[in-house]
Amino acid sequence: MTGKDLKVGIGDMKFARGDGQIITYALGSCIGITMYDPAIRLGGLLHIMLPSRTDPKDPKVFKYADSGIQEMIRKLSAFGMLKSRTIVKIAGGAKMFEIQGNSSFGNIGERNAAMVKKLLMEERMRITASDTGGSYARTMLINIANGDVIVRTAGKPEKHL
């Protein structure tokens, strides 16, 4: 049975149970985070853009790593996810442009990756696979039926994380 395909935009999160797939396109400096609980075949994909939410009134929780991961865990837990069983994979955090004489420009990808790793460690969730850094965009998708995560980049074969 083919389930529904869900598309996650920038600064958003979607999740599904049973089957179907969730995809997010062209992660540049952003990071895609998948969480999958194989026991109940519940999986989600979060697409964050920046490390931390500085304005607590900002309603866009999924735009930031800190509020996004927190809210994703809260939502998935409400549907039965157990952190101890959950498989977490991340991709993205690239540096698309290198500006000479300004090495801090475009570091946001690296900062995002560091933040995501730190937050997940604090949540005691282990990252089983990651594909971050580099200078190219990535499309990330998760198959909800089996938790398989695929990363697509331009000019390279698909990679299973």
Q: Which residues bind other proteins (CB under 8 A)?
A: 9-11, 25-30, 49-50, 54, 60, 63, 94, 96-102, 105-106, 108-109, 135-139, 152, 154-155
Residue 30 designated active-site = yes
CA distance linking residue 82 with residue 113, whole number of Å = 23
Least separation in angstroms between CB 42 and other proteins: 26
Least separation in angstroms between CB 79 and other proteins: 27
Catalytic residue among 6, 13, 27, 30: 30
**Element (H or E) spanning 132, and its range?**
strand 127-132
Nearer to other proteins among residue 3 and residue 11 (C-beta): 11
Least separation in angstroms between CB 35 and other proteins: 22
Max CA distance (Å), the chain? 54
Confirm if 87 and 38 have CB atoms less than 8 A apart: yes
Least separation in angstroms between CB 73 and other proteins: 22
Nearer to other proteins among residue 15 and residue 64 (C-beta): 64
CA distance linking residue 86 with residue 27, whole number of Å = 23
CA distance linking residue 117 with residue 1, whole number of Å = 35
Q: Locate 110 and state its tokens.
A: 């690296």
Nearer to other proteins among residue 50 and residue 149 (C-beta): 50
The packing angle between helices 108-122 and 65-78, to 10°, is 40
Q: Please report, for residues 4, 86, 97, 126, the alpha-carbon distance to residue 29 in angstroms, rounded to integers and kept in the order given.
A: 27, 25, 10, 22
Active-site residue list:
30
